[in-house]
Amino acid sequence: GENVEQHPSTLSVQEGDSAVIKCTYSDSASNYFPWYKQELGKRPQLIIDIRSNVGEKKDQRIAVTLNKTAKHFSLHITETQPEDSAVYFCAATGGTSYGKLTFGQGTILTVHP
Amino acid sequence: DAGITQSPRHKVTETGTPVTLRCHQTENHRYMYWYRQDPGHGLRLIHYSYGVKDTDKGEVSDGYSVSRSKTEDFLLTLESATSSQTSVYFCAISKQEGGNTEAFFGQGTRLTVV
């Protein structure tokens, strides 16, 4: 089955800096890679996703890149703000997996004012 | 919230008792999932359903069973609760046929087994 590794487990940045979170996956059949943000006590919420036919996707201050050859994908947050502080999860799914998501272990992002 | 409701939101139960968690959706989605969330592990799939009466095991299914007798309801049962099943449980739905698309989560159920 799929295995997703996520790094770093914690990330601390100053407001205005950029933050990068990286994930690797093992199953070459995976073709959909979402990123979720989870605030304390809340449900995970989708913030951006990318499919395997695309190398990069942007949405305002966040972007995701995908390298299918190396089987890794990354989340980039620019001009970080305190409200970006949360736990971020990457995930992967694809092939005949019925949409089952395999998640990374999560990254606790703290943005200091 | 994609019309997903979990109940109860919080539960404390004793070791050895059966517990059932309910996930209810209002948008007639075919695919539903149960995940558990534990520190250091992210979210892990327990069971999933790809239609009424169609279910299968996920990564961490031991000690759990599920049922889906109606499109809108997906029940997760802990047959005999253990302390290792203390966790936050999230139900999710996938909005399009064939999966591989956006998943939306319920609010979660915090279960404590004492």
Which tens digit of pLDDT belongs to each residue from B62-112?
Answer: 999 999 999 999 999 999 999 999 999 999 998 765 545 788 999 999 999
Distance between alpha carbon A58 and the CA centroid of its chain, in Å? 13
Tell me, what's the pLDDT at A53? 85
Long-range Cβ contacts of A76-79 (<8 Å, 24+ apart)? A76/A18, A76/A19, A76/A20, A77/A18, A77/A19, A77/A20, A77/A109, A78/A18, A79/A16, A79/A18
d(CA B55, CA B107): 22
Tell me, what's the pLDDT at B1? 64
B-chain residues within 8 Å CB-CB of A93? 99-100
d(CA A37, CA A45): 5
Q: Which amino acid is at A33?
A: F
Token pair, residue A91, equals 């995930």
3-state secondary structure of A53: coil
A-chain residues within 8 Å CB-CB of B101? 32, 99
Residue of B6, B23, B41, B43 to mutate, interface with A, max A Cβ within 10 Å: B43
A50 pLDDT higher than 60: yes
Please check whether residue B98 touches A, CB under 8 A: yes
More confidently predicted of B21 and B41: B21
Confidence of residue A98 (pLDDT cuts 50, 70, 90): confident
Tell me, what's the pLDDT at A54? 84
Please check whether residue A71 touches B, CB under 8 A: no
Rounded-to-5 percentages of helix, strand, coil across chain B: 5, 60, 40
**Over pLDDT 70: what percentage of chain A?**
99
Tell me, what's the pLDDT at A1? 84
d(CA A89, CA B112): 24
